[in-house]
Structure 1
Amino acid sequence: MRVVVTTESRCLRTPDARVWVHAGPSYPNWSRYLAAFRTVRVVARVRDVPEVPAGASRVDGEGVEVWPVPHYQGPAEYLRRQPAVRRAVTAAAAEDDAVVLRVPSPIGSLLAAARERRGLPYALEVIGDPYDVFAPGTVRHPLRPVLRHLSTRRLRHQCRTAVGAAYVTEQHLQRRYPVREGIVSTHVSSVYLPAEAYVGQPRVVDGPRGDRTIVSVGTLAQLYKGVDTLLTALARLAGPGRPRLVHLGDGRFRTDLERLAERLGMADRVTFAGVVPTGAAVRRHLDAADLFVMPSRTEGLPQALIEAMARALPAVGTRVGGIPELLAAEDLVPPDDPAALAGAIDRMLADPERMTAASARNLARSRDFSADTLARRRTAFYRAVAAATAQRGHRPLSEPPATVPGAG
């Protein structure tokens, strides 16, 4: 059986027809589906480029192909290209395919609607929360409240309709977007952490604070990563011990954030490193830092934080999404609260014993997301989806669900 998987990643296609991605899931992520399916078709936006971009990772490969969707970026382009996007997405899956939609997602929602119209099954990987994505302060759009309502309602409907759902969180998303009784449901992160992603032992922090470096990671295409809050918080930490910040990630709000750093008198203490290739390049930045900060306004279960924890980095984060499932309560602050964030950063950096304890705790927790640990649960879910797809056949989705084996 083939599986068709949707993603919101923006891919790049070179003249040799190979497909690449700068930031997002690459071939190792998609090849995991081959444990339960014969082939994988990834449905994604694709833009043609003349050559392989520096730092890009291959998406397609043995057993994995990419089904191109016309490229768009942002709501305005999506609306202009929606007819072509809809046609491409609708044609991506045959009747006898298994379908897994990574949601919330405009592409995933288009394919879900197409499957429902034809009485065909689909499963979900719930990787984010639109209620938080469209919360005040995260997106600057006059229709933000309407988009929040509609997208939240849509995801609830999809979870009630799907033949199976895997959530990236252990509890948070399940409470807000439950599946129907009798439907296979599990929690399994989409994080991919090979053995080399882990350090061998925790850090031991001693001595005075010195010149500390903070690292943060996330797209700047929107403001939901809270980097503006982090800059404002760091500006409150006056004096010679004020830490430096290195941010990995890029997007249309980078210029605004650089200007904010200048207004706050922080320009000489902040580095926007832009897009950094996944893997070893990111790990070098993490290893050079003293503290990881995730000031997000919304999250699913953030891979960037788990990667930092695997490098035994102490961390401070906001109390949103799945972050509280990863960090100790003492390392959490409310979102959009520069004063609380500044206090948490200051207390952490001033206390070597606390940093040492956080390093050990984070490294131990990150091992729950090792490739081997997650592979068993993920494969069980994929096999359950294949079985549910075969059992449902072409019966209408309004019929009672067939019994589905547990995912472990």
Structure 2
Amino acid sequence: MRVVVTTESRCLRTPDARVWIHAGPSYPNWSRYLAAFRSVRVVARVRDVPEVPGGASRVDGEGVEVWPVPHYQGPAEYLRRQGAVRRAVTAAADAADAVILRVPSPVGSLLARARERQGLPYALEVIGDPYDVFAPGTLRHPLRPVLRHLTTRRLRHQCRTAVGAAYVTEHYLQRRYPVREGAVSTHVSSVNLPPDAYVGQPRVVDGPRGAGTVVSVGMLAQLYKGVDTLLAALARLAGPGLRPRLVHLGDGRFRPELERLADRLGVADRVTFAGVVSTGEAVRRHLDAADLFVMPSRTEGLPQALIEAMARGLPAIGTTVGGIPEVLGIDDLAPPDDPAALATAIGRMLADPARMTAASARNLARSRDFSADTLAHRRTAYYRAVAAATAQGGHRPVLHATG
């Protein structure tokens, strides 16, 4: 059986028809589905480029193909190209295919509607919360309140309709978007850390790190990652012995605005926007060189960047959104959109070597719950349950894939 999987990732196609991606799931992520399915078709936005971009990773490969959807970015472009996008997405799956939609997602919602009209089953991977995605401050769009209402309602409907859902969180998203009785339900993070992602031992911090380096990670196509809040917090950390530097990994259209904000706040000399950094070893070098990881997000499912930092034994501060409180302790959290609280949390951590040492050990231990070996069995069990439900037409209850 083939599985068709939708994603909101934006891919690049070279003249040789190979497909690449800068930031997002690449071939190793998609090849996981081959443990339960004959082949994988990834439905994604694709833009043609003349040559392989620097730092890009291959998406397609043996057993994995990409079904191209006309490229768009943002709600306005989506609305302009909606007809072409709908036709491409609707044609991506046949009646005999298993379908897994990574939601929330406009592309996934289009295919969900098509499957419902045809009376065909589909399953979900719930990777985020649209209620937070469209919260004030995350998106500048006049229809933001309407989009928030519609997308939240749509995800609740999809979870009640699907034959199963795999959530990236252990509890948070399940409470907001439960599946119907008899559907498959499990929690499987999309984080999948290989053995070389982990350091051998936690850090031992022997002195305050007030003038140390803070690192953050996230694309800047929207303001979801709260980097503006982090810059405002950094401006508050300017006292004697407490002037940390910030290195941000990731790029996007809001980078110039954030650079101007850093200048206005008087912290431009302490901020480095490193741009897109290829995944793997290059990111780990930045993490290893830092003293503290900060994730000031306004919305998250369960962020891979945070887990990767924890696997390097890096102390971390995050916000109280999505699945972040499931992996960080209460003392390592701050509310979103609160520069004062974030500055306090960062300052207390950097000033306390014993706390940083304890956080390193705790984070490294927790990150091992996201190793490839730990997650592979649960993920494959979910895929096989979806295949069985699809073969039955989605009408019979199937065993829960829990654990």
| 1:206 pairs with 2:206 | yes
Residue of structure 1 equivalent to 2:400: 406
Residue of structure 2 equivalent to 1:397: none
Residue of structure 2 equivalent to 1:312: 313
Equivalent position SS for 1:86: helix
Equivalent position SS for 1:47: strand
In 2, Cα distance between the equivalents of 1:211 and 1:172? 35
Residue of structure 1 equivalent to 2:142: 142
User: Map of 1:5-404 to 2, 5 A cutoff?
Assistant: 5-209=5-209, 211-240=211-240, 241-392=242-393, 401-404=395-398
371-380 or 73-82: bigger deviation: 73-82
Question: 1:238, CA displacement in angstroms?
Answer: 1.4
146-155 or 216-225: bigger deviation: 216-225
In 2, Cα distance between the equivalents of 1:260 and 1:83? 38
Aligned residues: 401
In 2, Cα distance between the equivalents of 1:297 and 1:218? 12
1:168-220 C-alpha deviation (Å, 9 max, x unpaired): 00000000000011111000001121111110010000124363000000111
Equivalent position SS for 1:61: coil
What CA RMSD, in Å, does the superposition of the two structures yield over aligned residues?
0.8
In 1, Cα distance between the equivalents of 2:253 and 2:95? 39
User: Would you say the 8 A contact 2:166–2:188 is kept in 1?
Assistant: yes
In 2, Cα distance between the equivalents of 1:209 and 1:37? 49
User: Would you say the 8 A contact 2:210–2:351 is kept in 1?
Assistant: no
In 1, Cα distance between the equivalents of 2:209 and 2:258? 27
1:45-93 C-alpha deviation (Å, 9 max, x unpaired): 0111111100000000000000000111111111111111100000000
Equivalent position SS for 1:392: coil
Amino acid paired to 2:18: R
User: Would you say the 8 A contact 2:210–2:350 is kept in 1?
Assistant: no
Amino acid paired to 1:213: T
Q: TM-score, normalised by structure 1?
A: 0.97
User: Would you say the 8 A contact 2:209–2:291 is kept in 1?
Assistant: no
In 1, Cα distance between the equivalents of 2:208 and 2:41? 53
Equivalent position SS for 1:189: coil
Amino acid paired to 2:246: L
In 1, Cα distance between the equivalents of 2:83 and 2:317? 43
Q: Which runs of 5+ in 2 are unaligned?
A: none
Equivalent position SS for 2:147: helix
Equivalent position SS for 1:192: coil
Equivalent position SS for 2:119: coil
Q: TM-score, normalised by structure 2?
A: 0.98
Amino acid paired to 2:249: L
Amino acid paired to 1:264: L
Q: Which runs of 5+ in 1 are unaligned?
A: 394-400
In 1, Cα distance between the equivalents of 2:208 and 2:189? 37
Equivalent position SS for 1:186: strand
Equivalent position SS for 2:116: helix
In 2, Cα distance between the equivalents of 1:338 and 1:41? 43
Amino acid paired to 2:243: R
User: Would you say the 8 A contact 2:210–2:243 is kept in 1?
Assistant: no
User: Would you say the 8 A contact 2:2–2:39 is kept in 1?
Assistant: yes
Equivalent position SS for 1:84: helix
Question: 1:166, CA displacement in angstroms?
Answer: 0.1
1:22-54 C-alpha deviation (Å, 9 max, x unpaired): 000000000000000000000000111111100
Question: 1:224, CA displacement in angstroms?
Answer: 1.5
Equivalent position SS for 2:94: coil
Amino acid paired to 2:264: R
What is the percent sequence identity of the aligned residues?
87
Equivalent position SS for 1:297: coil
Distance 1:61 1:54, change over 3 A: same
1:221-275 C-alpha deviation (Å, 9 max, x unpaired): 1111111111001101113530000001111111111001001110110000111
In 1, Cα distance between the equivalents of 2:113 and 2:397? 23
Question: 1:407, CA displacement in angstroms?
Answer: 1.2
In 2, Cα distance between the equivalents of 1:5 and 1:210? 45
Residue of structure 2 equivalent to 1:398: none
Equivalent position SS for 1:216: strand
1:326-354 C-alpha deviation (Å, 9 max, x unpaired): 10111011111111110010000000000
Equivalent position SS for 1:87: helix
